[in-house]
């Protein structure tokens, strides 16, 4: 997932609003680069939102970076920008955001976002039929859907059950036969949250 933005820091519903990384987010991206320095990556696929592109810039010059609109975060309509100070709005958002066909009053449905995630994975898999290592830099809403599709969990269930914080990395191994394996790599700074 991309590094922190000011809206992440402020607990705002960011969704499709195209915010840049803040200084913490840039530090998180640099730490990710150090963590993955020895990993040979064939291609980095990234959401076209600037916060994801800025996070992926750490791979610039060492591997191709491909921006994909399919990996963008879901637009949450009237809920964009709300935070805990807007308690009634946030409570309504929390009640509705995992409803499959709710467009969030002018936004995108979870069903539509799930179809985009599935289409992105199809494109990526077609380009890497012979295997390899790819990195996907996405968002807190699209990444659980990607993981769900990859490991065979119903996407609506995965969307509500999988929580990925800023700068957290999932490593997923998709063998030619057998079940996928998944690990969540947690930064040292978050060990106290376990």
Using one digit for the tens of pLDDT, what is the confidence trace for 116-130?
Answer: 999 999 999 999 999
All residues at 6 or more sequence positions from 14 whose CB lies less than 8 Å from its CB, including other chains: 5, 7, 8, 73, 80
Using one digit for the tens of pLDDT, what is the confidence trace for 62-101?
Answer: 999 999 999 999 999 999 999 999 999 999 999 999 999 9
Which phi and psi angles does 83 have, rounded to 5°? -140, -170
- 142, with CB counted inside 10 A (0-12, 13-18, 19+), is buried
Q: What was the pLDDT predicted at 87?
A: 96
Cα angle 135, 137, 141 (rounded to 5 degrees) comes to 130
Report the catalytic residues.
2, 73
Q: What was the pLDDT predicted at 185?
A: 81
- The position carrying tokens 């840039």 is 26
Report the sign of the C-alpha dihedral through residues 14, 15, 21, 23, in that order.
positive
Which phi and psi angles does 137 have, rounded to 5°? -105, 110
Using one digit for the tens of pLDDT, what is the confidence trace for 10-62?
Answer: 999 999 999 999 999 999 999 999 888 899 999 999 999 999 999 999 999 99
d(CA 102, CA 166): 25
SS (H, E, C) 27-63: HHHHHHHHHCCCCCCCEEEEECCHHHHHHHHHHCCCC
Q: For residue 79, which of 68, 62, 69, 91 has the smallest C-alpha distance?
A: 91
For the chain, the average pLDDT equals 94
Q: How many helices (H) and strands (E) does the chain have?
A: 7, 5
- The position carrying tokens 């947690």 is 186
Q: What was the pLDDT predicted at 114?
A: 99
The DSSP output letter for 46 is: E
Q: What was the pLDDT predicted at 194?
A: 65
> Is 117 in contact with 145 (CB distance < 8 Å)?
yes
Q: What was the pLDDT predicted at 72?
A: 99
Domains along the chain with CATH numbers: 6-193 (3.40.50.1240)
All residues at 6 or more sequence positions from 127 whose CB lies less than 8 Å from its CB, including other chains: 43
């Amino acid at each position: 997932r991309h590094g922190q933005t000011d809206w992440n820091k402020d607990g705002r519903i960011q969704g499709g609003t195209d915010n840049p990384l803040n200084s913490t987010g840039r530090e998180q991206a640099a730490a990710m680069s150090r963590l993955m320095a020895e990993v040979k990556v064939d291609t980095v696929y990234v959401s076209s939102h600037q916060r994801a592109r800025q996070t992926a810039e750490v791979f610039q010059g060492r591997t191709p970076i491909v921006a994909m609109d399919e990996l963008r975060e879901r637009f949450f309509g009237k809920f964009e920008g709300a935070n805990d100070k807007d308690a009634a709005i946030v409570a309504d958002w929390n009640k509705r955001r995992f409803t499959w066909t709710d467009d969030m009053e002018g936004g995108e449905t979870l069903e539509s976002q799930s179809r985009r995630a599935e289409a992105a994975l199809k494109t990526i898999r077609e380009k890497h039929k012979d295997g390899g290592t790819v990195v996907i830099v996405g968002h807190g809403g699209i990444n659980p859907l990607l993981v769900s599709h990859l490991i065979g969990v119903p996407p609506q269930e995965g969307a509500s059950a999988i929580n990925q914080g800023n700068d957290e990395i999932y490593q997923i191994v998709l063998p030619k036969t057998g079940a996928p394996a998944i690990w969540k790599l947690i930064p040292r700074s978050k060990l106290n949250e376990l």
